[in-house]
């Protein structure tokens, strides 16, 4: 069996969802700190130690995290020092918890409908301290392919084009930088997703697996949506050797346990599709 996980959001329901993930059979998790305020607090290290205890209690291993991120509508030249510090703290915490990779959202300069050259320059500059922190603490930064936004017609977001991912990765050219391939985002893009993922190839070290109808970033389970999993995964599994992580929106109601159990069936199915089937 390949290594699979589900991303648990660090929110008010975190403890409960972590417990249920373990109960239904997950052995690995990704911790989603994207919108968490944990790292804005002076006592953030206490929360990380508490999470370490919860992981141990439930026999779970943290294999991946998601770093805090800006709003998509914040232009890249707008710097929030508190948020930048939170990302550095999260990188340190991720290594402490054992995560191999920290998913990262590159940002876009929004003037002139998303200036690609300026956006790339900002992306490289923003990643410099994170890559250094990853090297210091012993983890990696996985730059994610971002989705296009239909309601922002004409805008070009940094790393929506898979070639941006290759440029950023190859600029640093070190073991602390990788790519997190987001299946749902790739499915929404204006390119053939197999061609794109294959071109990025061995740079891909982490995944966000979810489904949609090709138009909205819905974060459905693999069993709902229009991704052709057999077609895609038979090509993807031919070169990818890392973990398979679900990044889904799960319910906070009585159906959570059955939903999580089904999610484990889904990710196991997707990860085991034979290469070049």
- What is the pLDDT tens value at each position of the chain, 277 positions in all? 789 999 999 999 999 999 999 999 999 999 999 999 999 999 999 999 999 999 999 999 999 999 999 998 899 999 999 999 999 999 999 999 999 999 999 999 988 777 889 999 999 999 999 999 999 999 999 999 999 876 666 677 889 999 999 999 999 999 999 999 999 999 999 789 899 999 999 999 999 999 999 999 999 999 999 999 999 999 999 999 999 999 999 999 999 999 999 999 999 999 999 876 5
CA 197 distance to own-chain centroid: 15
Distance separating alpha carbons of residues 138 and 83, to the nearest angstrom: 21
Let me know: does 131 contact 176? Beta carbons within 8 Å: yes
DSSP E strand boundaries for the chain? 4-9, 28-32, 61-66, 101-104, 141-144, 177-182, 204-208, 244-246
Sheet order of strands, 101-104 included = 204-208, 177-182, 141-144, 101-104, 61-66, 28-32, 4-9, 244-246
Helix (H, G, I), strand (E, B) or coil at 118: helix
Distance separating alpha carbons of residues 64 and 67, to the nearest angstrom: 10
Let me know: does 263 contact 256? Beta carbons within 8 Å: no
The structure's pTM equals 0.96
Q: How far apart are the first and last CA of the chain?
A: 17
CA 76 distance to own-chain centroid: 19
For 4-271, CATH number out of 3.20.20.150, 3.30.572.10, 3.20.20.70, 3.40.50.2300 equals: 3.20.20.150
- HSE on the CB side for 106, CA within 13 Å? 38
Task: Return the domain boundaries, the chain.
Answer: 4-271
Helix (H, G, I), strand (E, B) or coil at 272: coil
CA distances from 185 to 29, 116, 154, 189, 271 (A): 21, 19, 17, 7, 18
Q: What is the predicted pLDDT for the residue at 114?
A: 73
Helix (H, G, I), strand (E, B) or coil at 102: strand
Q: What is the predicted pLDDT for the residue at 247?
A: 98
Q: Which residues lie below 8 Å from residue 138, measured CB to CB, with a gap of 6+?
A: 95
Distance separating alpha carbons of residues 245 and 33, to the nearest angstrom: 15
Q: Which long-range contacts (CB under 8 A, 24 or more apart) does 225-232 make?
A: 225/184, 225/187, 226/187, 227/183, 227/184, 227/187, 229/269, 229/270, 229/273, 230/273, 230/277, 231/194, 232/183, 232/193, 232/194, 232/197
Q: What is the predicted pLDDT for the residue at 124?
A: 96
């Amino acid at each position: 069996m390949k290594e699979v996980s589900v991303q648990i959001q660090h929110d008010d329901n975190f403890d409960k969802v972590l417990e249920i993930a373990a109960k239904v059979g997950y052995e690995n998790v990704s911790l989603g700190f994207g919108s968490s305020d944990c790292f804005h607090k002076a006592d953030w290290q206490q929360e990380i130690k508490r999470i370490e205890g919860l992981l141990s209690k439930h026999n779970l291993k943290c294999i991946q995290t998601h770093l805090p991120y800006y709003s998509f509508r914040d232009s890249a030249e707008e710097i929030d020092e508190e948020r930048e510090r939170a990302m550095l703290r999260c990188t340190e915490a991720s290594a402490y918890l054992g995560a191999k990779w920290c998913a990262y959202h590159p940002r876009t300069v929004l003037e002139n409908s998303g200036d690609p050259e300026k956006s790339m320059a900002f992306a490289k500059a923003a990643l410099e301290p994170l890559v250094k922190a990853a090297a210091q603490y012993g983890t990696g930064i996985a730059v994610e392919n971002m989705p296009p936004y239909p309601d922002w017609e004409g805008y070009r977001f940094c790393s929506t084009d898979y070639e941006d991912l290759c440029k950023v990765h190859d600029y640093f050219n070190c073991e602390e930088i990788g790519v997190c391939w987001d299946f749902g985002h790739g499915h929404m893009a204006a390119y053939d997703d197999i061609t794109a993922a294959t071109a990025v190839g061995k740079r891909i070290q982490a995944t966000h697996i979810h489904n949609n109808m090709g138009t909205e970033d819905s974060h459905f389970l693999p069993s709902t949506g229009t991704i052709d999993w057999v077609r895609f995964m038979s090509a993807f599994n031919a070169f990818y050797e890392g973990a398979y992580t679900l990044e889904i929106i799960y319910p906070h109601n009585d159906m959570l346990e059955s939903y999580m159990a089904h999610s484990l069936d889904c990710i196991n199915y997707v990860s085991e599709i034979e290469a070049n089937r």
